[in-house]
């Protein structure tokens, strides 16, 4: 299965199948983490032919998505005398993909990289579209670049070793896309009538279509942040150590849905339906906000906030979206108090 991504900067393919033979006439660095390398590195090495292959292992987890990890990786590239023809391969989940892409974008002002995602979340969402970056104390993904890969190889076989919790976290991003863009897709998820390859392909097609229209998130691409505005605050307040990204997004979707109901864009029945689908996919739907004002203030560190106006992405029914700005603070506070 092949899905094409078209952007002003680069066109590339997403290939969904078993890993092909990869031949690169240059130095290659596989950027990975201990978990993925222990499970799957032999498989990748058996398919990879290159002049030199270096393995760069970064710590596993969202809390390591920072400048320290980037500097460690860049130092390994300089140690191995990588040049502008060299290639990086992101071999892992969303954290590895984001960091590898960012490293590729800044090493010698930009070298090529390939995405080989190994988690459902990275397969359906983060490996597609060229968003790269790291976190800092002010928030998530606030430092980074839009930088497209050369190709994305998605091998669903890698999911066989994925922990149940990680798989569920990926389903949050799948459900997000279905609620925003495709009611029939949502029904398929609700009824468990789709295979994993079908879910991956449909999600990738949706993401590719959005990215092709809006590479740098000036318009429709921001709709993919449904659940993320709330979810990023939750991740930041819990130091990226309590929830997986997809879990925080799931809770964020529940909060965004509550706002949508309050604003009249979503019925209570639709809100309940989305919440049930999240729960049925083993995702958390509850969160207790300790300090409502503190939570509210964290919205302003979000990179989607412009001129001190918070932008919220909410469902307009199931299968449609609404971008809302300039909402009265009291309305938002009232929503947050419902989770207090």
Is 173 tagged catalytic? yes
Catalytic residue selected from 40, 65, 112, 131: 131
What residues contact residue 304 under an 8 Å CB cut-off, 6+ apart?
Answer: 217, 222, 225, 229, 310, 311
Is 165 tagged catalytic? no
Is 109 tagged catalytic? yes
* Cα separation, 11 vs 323, whole angstroms: 28
Bridge partners (DSSP) listed for residue 13:
4, 151
Q: Closest Cα partner for 299 from 336, 264, 250, 265?
A: 336
Is 202 tagged catalytic? no
Tokens 């560190």 belong to which residue? 301
Is 40 tagged catalytic? no
Catalytic residue selected from 27, 65, 76, 228: 228
Catalytic residue selected from 217, 236, 247, 304: 217
Do residues 54 and 248 lie in contact, with contact meaning Cβ atoms separated by under 8 Å? no
Is 232 tagged catalytic? yes
Is 228 tagged catalytic? yes
Catalytic residue selected from 135, 225, 236, 257: 225
Catalytic residue selected from 201, 245, 298, 304: 245
Is 131 tagged catalytic? yes
Catalytic residue selected from 40, 201, 202, 221: 221
Catalytic residue selected from 21, 81, 109, 164: 109
Catalytic residue selected from 62, 166, 173, 205: 173
* Cα separation, 190 vs 187, whole angstroms: 5
Q: What is the dihedral of CA 54, 60, 65, 70, to 10 degrees?
A: -20
Catalytic residue selected from 27, 65, 112, 232: 232
Catalytic residue selected from 202, 207, 258, 304: 207
Q: What is the DSSP letter of 306?
A: B
Q: What is the DSSP letter of 57?
A: E
Q: Closest Cα partner for 115 from 78, 87, 75, 145?
A: 87
- Assigned token pair, 64: 């390591």
What residues contact residue 328 under an 8 Å CB cut-off, 6+ apart?
Answer: none
Is 298 tagged catalytic? no
Catalytic residues: 109, 131, 173, 207, 217, 221, 225, 228, 232, 245
């Amino acid at each position: 299965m092949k899905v094409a991504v078209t952007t002003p900067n680069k066109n590339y393919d997403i290939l969904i199948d078993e890993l092909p033979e990869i031949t690169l006439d240059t130095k290659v660095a596989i950027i990975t983490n201990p978990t993925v390398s222990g499970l799957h590195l032999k498989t990748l090495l058996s398919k990879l032919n290159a002049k030199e292959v270096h393995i760069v292992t970064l710590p596993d987890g969202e809390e390591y998505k920072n400048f320290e990890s980037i500097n460690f990786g860049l130092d390994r590239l300089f140690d191995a005398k990588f040049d502008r023809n060299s290639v990086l391969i992101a071999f892992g989940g969303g954290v590895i993909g984001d960091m590898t892409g960012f490293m590729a974008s800044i090493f010698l002002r930009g070298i090529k990289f390939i995405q080989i995602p190994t988690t459902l979340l990275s397969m359906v969402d983060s490996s597609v579209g060229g968003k790269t970056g790291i976190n800092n104390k002010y928030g998530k993904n606030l430092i980074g670049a839009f930088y497209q890969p050369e190709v994305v190889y998605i091998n669903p076989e890698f999911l066989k070793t994925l922990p149940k919790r990680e798989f569920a976290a990926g389903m949050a991003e799948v459900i997000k896309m279905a609620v925003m863009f495709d009611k029939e897709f949502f029904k398929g998820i609700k009824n468990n009538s789709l295979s994993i390859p079908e879910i991956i392909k449909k999600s990738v097609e949706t993401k590719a279509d959005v990215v092709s229209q809006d590479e740098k998130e000036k318009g429709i691409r921001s709709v993919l942040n449904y659940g993320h505005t709330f979810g990023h605050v939750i991740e930041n307040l819990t130091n990226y150590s309590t929830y997986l990204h997809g879990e925080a997004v799931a809770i964020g979707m529940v909060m965004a849905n509550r706002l949508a109901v309050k604003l009249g864009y979503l019925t209570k029945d639709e809100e309940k339906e989305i919440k049930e689908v999240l729960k049925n996919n083993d995702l958390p739907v509850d969160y207790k906000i300790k300090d409502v004002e503190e939570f509210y203030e964290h919205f302003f560190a979000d990179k989607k906030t412009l001129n001190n106006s918070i932008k919220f992405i909410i469902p307009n029914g199931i299968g449609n979206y609404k971008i809302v700005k300039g909402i009265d603070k009291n309305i938002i506070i009232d929503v947050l108090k419902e989770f207090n």
